[in-house]
Every structure is written in C-alpha cells, then in structure tokens.
Chain A
C-alpha cells in the first residue's frame, strides 16, 4: 500500500467538466454542484453548451462544458479560469486549453485519444506526448476502459457500460475534493428507478471513480474546501438556477396576489425551462398553454389577464420581436402582463445558448408609437425570484405590461439561495372593480386611480360593468373610441406619466472609502463580475464606487444625482452600450461604455483591469 495521499486546504476552486454533447457533462456538473451546495460551500455555475442537440461526435463545435466555482467564502462569479479541467476527449481538451492558466490540473480520458479522434480536431500528434501540455499537471486516466472494466459483471453491453464514464469521472472528482456522495447515489437510484440495472451500473461507476482516486498513486493530493459558513445568512438554503428561481417567483407572485397564474408560451432557448417548470405545478392552479407561436403565446396571456389571471409570457429576443404588437395592445388596454425575456446572443437566431444583454433597447422602445413599458432585470440567478415578484407588483399595481430581462447566464447558472418564509413575501392582492364608478351609475373603464393612474380591472362576469376595450385610441375616462387630437396627446402623455410615476427604490451606491471619483454602474447579470472586479480593485488599494440598476424603466429617482457626483461613470455591458446610450440621453452625463459581446459573461480579472485603468485616469485628471 502507498502512503496516504496529502490533503491540501484550499479557499476556492474552479472546476470545468468538458466533453461531447452526448457525454453527460451538464448532468455531471449538476451533480457535483448539488454535492457542493449540500456541503455548504458558496458556489456559482456556468453551463456552456452548443445549440445543436448532438453535434457530430468528437468535433470542436460539439463540446459541452460545465464550470463550477466553489469556495469557503462569499463568491460572485463562476470563476475566470479553471484550476482543473476534466477533458473527456481531444475536442474537449482543445476547445478549453486556452482558458487554462499555467499550472492548472488536467484529467484526460486517454481512451479517446486515438489518431482519428485527434485528427478530427486538427492535431497530428497527441498533445499528451508532444509537450503541448508541459505547463500543466496532467492526470492521464483511461476513463472509458476503467468504467467498462468496473461494469463487466453488470450485464450491460460494453457500449452501454461505457456511457457511465461521466459517473466514473464524477466519482474521481468527488474523491479529489472530498465531496459527500450519498446525494448522488440517491439521485441515480431515483433517476433510473425504472431501470434498476442502469441505476446500479451508474452507482458502481461512480464508486469505482472514487476508489480509483483513493487507491492509485496517480493522485497524490486531494483537496478540502471548508464550508462557507460566513457567506450565508442563517436559515434554510438550496441551490437554485435562474430559470427555476424565476418560475418559483411567478408561482409565488400568483399565490400572493390570490390570482391564477396563466403562462402562454412558445418553446425557445433559453426560456423553455420556465414553461417546463410551471407545467409541473398545476395543483397551484397554474395553467400553461404551449401556443402555436410567440404571438399566440402572448395573446393568450393577455386574454387570460383580461379574464382576471396573472398573465405571463416567456421568451427570448427573437420572440420579443414577434410579440411587440401585442405588447403595444397591452399598453393601450392597460392590463397587467409579464413579458419575461431570457436574453441570448443576437441578432436574428444569433447564439441561442449563449448570453447577452442586447435586448434592453428592444424592451424599451421596440414598439410602434409611444408605448412605454416598465423594465427590470435580476442581478443573479437567485435574484430572479425576487425580480419576478417585483415585476408582478408593478404589473398588478399599475395595470401595465412589464418586461423582466433575464439572460442565458442567469437562466442556466446557479447559486445558493436562502429560502424565504412565505410570510415575508410581499402582499400582492388586487381589487377587481365590482361596482359602477360614476355618479350616474355607469362604469368608466378608464377612470383612473389618482395616485397610480391605474385604471380599474373589471373582469368579465361582473354584472353592470360590461365594457369594450381595444387598441384604437380611446377617450380617457369613458374608454370610448376617440380620434380627437387633444385627447390623443393627453393619452400619450398620460401613459408615459403612469410609467414614469412607478415607485422604484432609490439606487444604492456602494462607496466604502467615501471619496471615490469613479462609479462603476451595471445592470442585470453583470452584477457578479462587476462586484468581483471592484473588490479586486479595492483590495489593491483602488478607490471605486459601484451601483447596480434593478429598474431600467423608470430609473430610480436619484440616479441622475448619483451619476453627477462622480468624475467618471463606467458602464460595463454585454452589448454595444445600450444602457450607456439611455443614461447619456436622459442625464447628459458623459458615461464611458465598456462592452463585450462574446456570448460569455465578463471575466472578473479582465474587468478589474479596465476598472483600475479608469480609476487611475480619473484620479490623474482634473479636480472634482
């Protein structure tokens, strides 16, 4: 027997699993994440996969990966670069090699490094032998053979047995990082409940991977990352992805509003998981309608809203383009409606599985006529829950369609979430109109609440309030068709005033030194990378203030003043400067834009360099 392996303590680790689209890398990553969450580390994940379901095997476009950052302290991003890469084939190695810092560890499945497989990715010689990997610590493991060997008595064909190699890899990594294993074994037995032989095979492969780490000498070191006790508020926690958090937020909003939830949706990446999730919760009175197209999805949601439901439609950028006319109708009808846009790379089909923030201007202005719509954006995966409730509050209070702008990074990424008590969620109950609102006993569908400017929500079935609404301009108050020029001018301004008057909390600026001259302002999913970058800059002695916008329309009332307090405002965005454009137009402030449109989130270190340079330049120029 060999000497027991050394155990090293680490404060944080970034792992990336990479393989073919069919290798089960997302599942492997999900399981490692679940083990890590249960263990009590803080974590953040970044799944990255091609739009094709099964791109040709062994090719670069077919590589699917899952990155996980976990730590013994509070972390904000899935990590810039992996400390360890698991590469299931040459394509996975080649596609990810450039992201690895010197000294990173690589576990390679040597079984897949045939001459033919190497040729598929343009390698004439094996990188395992020719010095390509000199800068890294490489662990060559015959994952496929070892898995097949472990399952030789399972009764499975060799081909079926080899499919469990991802569980062998998971077992090995679980050993390396001292992860708990019971959850994964339980998960496998539940997942394959109807195929017990597959459940056993996967559990066997998982254990074989663990034992391989324990018994062979190839792995001299294993690592411990202590639980991140101080990163979490006391209470119950779970790990949650953005799309799941958003779905639960919608169910919670409907419950807190005592309204049935109606989702009208057409499948589109990366929003479809919300449709899948909500369709599981029919016992909450949730109705999900998979429509014939995007337009019917929002149409049905609007029809349901007219009938008194919390109407929601979920989509991505191309779907928003199709829904625009109906969003305009909802603006004119002044009915509550949630439009959830999980942004992805564009234009057109663009990059369906990659992230981007380039629908902001579409959400703001992508309609005919003056058609103001409130817009808000979640900052992290777990924050999608709160943002959904907030969007519902605005829609229900002000009787307006509302845009909720998530994105692919938030949708598929995950992090721990403190599970809220139901009682601490906002009360969203609404009052339907039940009686005539005019002295003469008649009902005016556009008689407004003087404070919110919202009109009454009078649902069919209410006697005495029969009324007709439509997309033609109507007279304020009566709601009757009106082509009167003065009335149209009044209505256009009134709809704008209603949205401008929405109550949104003030912007909170984080400026610990109190004398920063640079403000870094973000919105949406850039929260994590910006916060991580700012904290790096501050740790190096830089002075920088930061703030994050939840509300893009209307902006917080103190935003203009906050911008003007700083000599320079830097706005990092995953588009070509859409928020910067709005800020410049609205506040005449010379905002600096820093943009990246690669389909991937910002890396904290790169952003830190940009912030640092801006901080230095600001300090070097002029006085306050």
Chain B
C-alpha cells in the first residue's frame, strides 16, 4: 500500500467549498488530517472516509479520497462491510457525539469489540450542532438547551469508558486546537491494527462555545490536562503515587481509571493492545476454506449430493 508518490496536504483537499460555521473546531481537525495524510504513505485512492450525519459527518466531502456520507449513526456498520470486503483499504470513520453515541451507539460498540480495521474519529463537542443546539449524550447533567430549558436530566456518557467497556483495543483523546498533539495521536491510531477510537474535543462556537476552554487556555491548561505518554510516569492527583503509563497493559483497569478522570483531563493514548483485526480473521477463513477445499466448484455445488437423472 505505501506509495512512492510524494503527496502534500494540498493533494487531500477536494474541490468542494467547506461549509462549517466560521470559527468551528472542525476546520482545525480537517487541516490536521489533511496535513497528516501524506505521512501515511498511502495512495489517495486507497483511502476511504465514511461518515454518518451531523456537522462532523460532512468531513468526507472535503477530502480528496474516496468517501461516503451515509445514514445517521450507521457509518461504523457501513465501514465494517467495506473494510471486510476490501482489507487493502485504509478506512476512516468520522462521527460526532450524537452520531456515534446516541443514534449509532450500537454500531460503535460492536465495531470496537470486533476490532475491525477502522480508524474512528469522534468529534465530541457535547452538543447537537446541525439540529441547532439540543443537548447530546455527552452534555453535562443540568445542561440548559433549547430542548431542555429546565436543564437536562440524564447522566452523560464518557466515550472512552464506554469504548474500554466495549473491548476497544485502541482508545485515545486529543483536542482540536492542539495540532501537534492531534497529529501525534492520529499517527498512533493509523499504525494500530484494528479499531482505533480517537475522541477529539471539538469546540462548537455557536451552540456550546468554550466547552473546553479550561483545557485550551494557556493559563489553566497545564493544571487541567494530564498528558499521557507510553512509558512515562503520571499521577492521578498531585499527591498520588507515580504510575508508569503502559498503553499495552492487557489489563484495562488503569486505562479505565484514566477514562474516568476529569481533573485533570487525560489526553493522549490511554490504551493500545494487540489483537487480531476482524477483517483479517474473516479473510483468513475465506482463504483457509479455499486452501482446504479448493476454489468453489459451482457445478458441484448446484448438483449437491443427492440427485437423480431423468432420461428423455
């Protein structure tokens, strides 16, 4: 799959006008992804972006690769079929907190547990943007929105806890405005075998502006963020014991503990364990069946084992 053609970020820009609101965090993510893609060393024709519905799901239109803007919540299912039928492709899913965790929650958890070779970018802005400002499954309890004038009642999902609970083999978090960090996480996700879930905190400047300001403001971010790096120590609290971060730990307990942490908020890769990818296993079965029984003989299949002849 690696290509000799030297591609530039510009090669990944489609001819379509980008139509997000001015100031939307999605622009920064698009630029980071387009900037990172040449590094992959994969020809454009072998890359596919699949999305569901929502602001973030317009993403494929802006990438000069193959792409599909599909049905609300169903991108992981559609991408699963594509990745299984075409293990030669690099398949990316772009989704949002409503698309992935509300209407499409079922497909997300099953893609994660199967470990299909998909890279899922979950743009989490903790609000519904495209439908104009209702609370989302990641909005904090008590959120005042157009659909919850007296405050929302339900407990939010923590996407990374959900992912780890769903047997995800790769779980990471990053922030739209931190291009260096975002790119580094994308790099690790792309290198991962199987499903990689990357939660990207993304600012919706229209309906939920400033949701992640504490994590972005130079005055507060050093205290608010816990930057995780494999092999480096971290503390869960200033006076807590040092723990050496091990993304490959087969026991998900430490990663799960990190996924629950809010102050500080961990960013980086929480978990990255090796497990066979579903599409590889599926294609191994197909190849194994051919090796064992030979390529299918249609005439023999149609004839079956219990037939008789009628003479004319």
Contact = CB atoms under 8 A, between A and B. Distances in A.
A467 B16 CA distance: 11
A329 B71 contact: yes
A289 B107 CA distance: 14
Interface in B268-308: 282-283, 285-286, 288-290, 292-296, 298-299, 301-304, 306-308
Interface in B67-97: 67-72, 74, 77-86, 88-89
B56 interface: no
Contacts of A234: 310-312
Given A468-B67, A470-B68, A303 B79 contact: yes
What band does the interface of chain B fall in when counting residues whose beta carbon is under 8 Å from A?
35 or more
A282 B85 contact: no
A38 B67 CA distance: 53
A528 B183 CA distance: 65
B16 A480 contact: yes
Interface in B245-273: none
A251 interface: yes
Contact of A283 (B110, B295, B299, B312): B295
A232 interface: yes
Given A262-B81, A289-B80, A238 B307 contact: yes
Contacts of B48: 460
A422 B69 contact: no
B78 A303 contact: yes
Nearest to A329: B71
What band does the interface of chain A fall in when counting residues whose beta carbon is under 8 Å from B?
35 or more
Contacts of A418: 310
B45 A471 contact: no
For B46, B64, B304, which residue has the most chain A Cβ atoms within 10 angstroms?
B304
Contacts of B85: 260, 262, 287, 303-304, 307-309
A539 interface: no
Nearest to B88: A461
Interface string B127-164: 00000000000000000000000000000000000000
Chain A at the B interface: mostly helix, strand, loop or mixed? mixed
B68 A306 contact: yes
Nearest to A34: B306
B43 interface: yes
A280 B309 CA distance: 26
Interface string B49-74: 11000000000110111111111101
Contacts, number: 211
Interface string A432-469: 00000000000000000000000000011111111111
B14 interface: yes
A461 B46 contact: yes
A238 B311 contact: no
B89 A463 contact: no
Contact of B298 (A236, A255, A460): A255
Interface in A272-295: 281-287, 289, 291-293, 295
A468 B289 CA distance: 35
A281 B68 CA distance: 30
A240 B305 CA distance: 12
B309 A235 contact: yes
A71 interface: no
A236 B303 contact: yes
Given A40-B308, A299-B78, A470-B68, A462 B45 contact: yes
Interface string A35-53: 0011010000000000000
Contacts of A300: 77-78, 80-81, 84
A323 B82 CA distance: 18
Contact of A461 (B89, B288, B296): B89
A155 interface: no
Contacts of B50: 303
B84 A262 contact: yes
A306 B295 CA distance: 25
Contacts of B43: 463
B298 A472 contact: no
Nearest to A462: B45
B303 A419 contact: yes
Given A292-B106, A296-B107, A329-B70, A460 B89 contact: yes
Interface in A285-335: 285-287, 289, 291-293, 295-296, 299-309, 311, 325-326, 329, 333
Contact of A295 (B49, B60, B77, B290): B77
A69 B292 CA distance: 40
18 contacts: A38-B308, A233-B310, A237-B308, A281-B296, A285-B286, A296-B80, A296-B107, A299-B107, A300-B78, A303-B81, A329-B70, A419-B303, A422-B298, A461-B89, A466-B66, A468-B63, A469-B68, A481-B16
Interface of B: 14, 16, 43-50, 60-61, 63-72, 74, 77-86, 88-89, 106-107, 110, 282-283, 285-286, 288-290, 292-296, 298-299, 301-304, 306-312
Given A285-B296, A464-B45, 9 more contacts: A239-B306, A251-B301, A292-B106, A306-B82, A326-B74, A422-B302, A460-B45, A460-B66, A463-B43
